[in-house]
A = this chain, B = another copy of it.
Amino acid sequence: MENLSFYNDDKLHEECGVIGIYEKNNINTANLAYFGLIALQHRGQESAGIAVNNDGIITCYKEMGLVSEVFDNQILNLLKGDMCIGHVRYSTMGESFVTNAQPLVVKYKNGTIALAHNGNLVNAQALRREMEDQGMIFTTSIDSEVIASLIAKNYTSNIEEAISKTMDKIKGAYALTIMTNEKLIGVRDKHGMRPLVLGRLGNGYVLASETCALDTIGAEFIRDINPGEIVIIDENGVKSIQTKPEEKALCIFEYIYFARPDSVIDGLGVYGARHSAGRMLAKEQPVEADAVISVPDSGTAAAIGYSLESGIPYTVGLIKNRYIGRTFIQPSQEIRETGVTLKLNPLKEEIEGKRIVMVDDSIVRGTTSMKIVQALRAAGAKEVHVRVSSPVILHSCYFGIDTPRRDELVGATTIIEKIKEKIGADSLGYLSHNGLMQSIGSCGKGFCTACFSGKYPVDITEEGDKHAFERR
């Protein structure tokens, strides 16, 4: 409602998190989904929703707000069923408010489908136009409706086949949890761009964007869903259909920033990946200094890695105010001038008189970095050396990440020396693309690094979609 840019954290943002649960005869699966979604809340804070299946009857509740704000005991008591899917969505202002919240529930020829989607299609506009030209309507502006429409169109007698055919049409990133009147289905796009895992819970199963959701509700990790895989869960257990995958291209930013550090994606731990990136950063961008600090919370793993590799002691240099997060009050002018201290306050005693290495996981616009460097100097830092545990962001994302327009990406418009000057650092060093790949044990394959490299795993030349997403 208001311009909250002051609180911007200058980070890229994930669009969504999904979950799906089936445990026969446990009518309280929505309670599990609730806590699973809380564990995935970092993936989206705009809206939350759960759809349950009670003996084939699907009921859905979704609202704007955090999971803990959207649901209360009264509502959860209305959501009984032994199968459910859930969704959290990141905060971008849609056209008609709650209409765009998920799960999306649709009626089609064979009954009801509920669908929760994490990701973004690059040919959604084209597909919409094509279907509109055939006389169809769309009641939301989310890709989920495009996917659901295609499933319905492709349905003859078999939902798996309809999904498979749909996957041949849609291009882009998607991790889906789908619920029909009888089945729970998990789908991961052919490049595996967004994560999706399978776990076991009592006698049932859980699908979730991240393993941290499994841990939270006491489910046991079974395996990652494969790129192009369709997993069908019903009273007969788990069945898998493997469609023809494309080259693996998992979003590298899941490791750099999006995922929770305690999650493990495609066999690689997120904390470990960040820690390794920090060590590699210390090798590539060494500096003489007295202390390594992190920009909390996302820079911490890399900062500890940097410290370990460099031998420079790690300390806490910035205290995060945990209560400022969702305030809607604009601070008065005098506070705004003092900079970043509402949110991050330098720990003077650890900063004063020292040469500081400040480790962050990424820089988008550079605005927050500038304020932190100022604050560290005001706290008495002798030198401030900024180290970033990922490469320079040069390109926009079209797969569901809220990247600013290219001209706002400081790295896309400014050479590093100038960025250094802009943010006021004594030195500035980014991890190289190679270094990043090495640090996660990759030969450079298997990941989408388009925001660094500009090499998109999917053709994104369709102008419409590109622009449509840029400021949707």
Cβ of A32 and Cβ of B335 under 8 Å apart? yes
- Taking CB atoms, residues of chain B closer than 8 Å to A132 are 107-109, 152
Q: With A and B bound together, what is the CA distance between A71 and B326 in angstroms?
A: 12
Q: Does A133 interact with chain B (Cβ within 8 Å)?
A: yes
Chain A contacts with B in 286-319, Cβ cutoff 8 A: 300-301, 304, 308, 313-316, 319
Q: With A and B bound together, what is the CA distance between A315 and B335 in angstroms?
A: 35
Q: How many copies does the complex hold?
A: 4
Q: Does A324 interact with chain B (Cβ within 8 Å)?
A: yes
Write the A217-252 contact mask toward B (1 if CB under 8 angstroms, else 0).
Answer: 110000000000000000000000000000000000
- Taking CB atoms, residues of chain B closer than 8 Å to A109 are 129, 132-133, 135
Q: Does A419 interact with chain B (Cβ within 8 Å)?
A: no
- Taking CB atoms, residues of chain B closer than 8 Å to A148 are 137
- Taking CB atoms, residues of chain B closer than 8 Å to A73 are 328-330
> Which 4 A-B residue pairs are closest in the complex by CB-CB distance?
A218-B338, A135-B153, A109-B132, A269-B349
Binding site for B on A (CB under 8 A): 1, 28, 31-32, 34-35, 38-39, 41-42, 58-61, 63, 66-68, 71-74, 76, 78, 95-99, 104-109, 113, 128-129, 132-133, 135-141, 145, 148-149, 152-155, 201-202, 212, 215-218, 260-262, 264, 269, 271-272, 275, 300-301, 304, 308, 313-316, 319, 321-324, 326-332, 334-335, 337-338, 341-342, 345-350
Can you list 23 contacts pairing A with B, beta carbon distance less than 8 Å? A32-B335, A34-B329, A39-B321, A39-B342, A60-B95, A60-B97, A96-B105, A98-B98, A104-B139, A106-B137, A107-B132, A107-B139, A109-B132, A137-B145, A212-B345, A217-B335, A269-B347, A269-B348, A272-B350, A301-B316, A304-B316, A308-B313, A314-B314
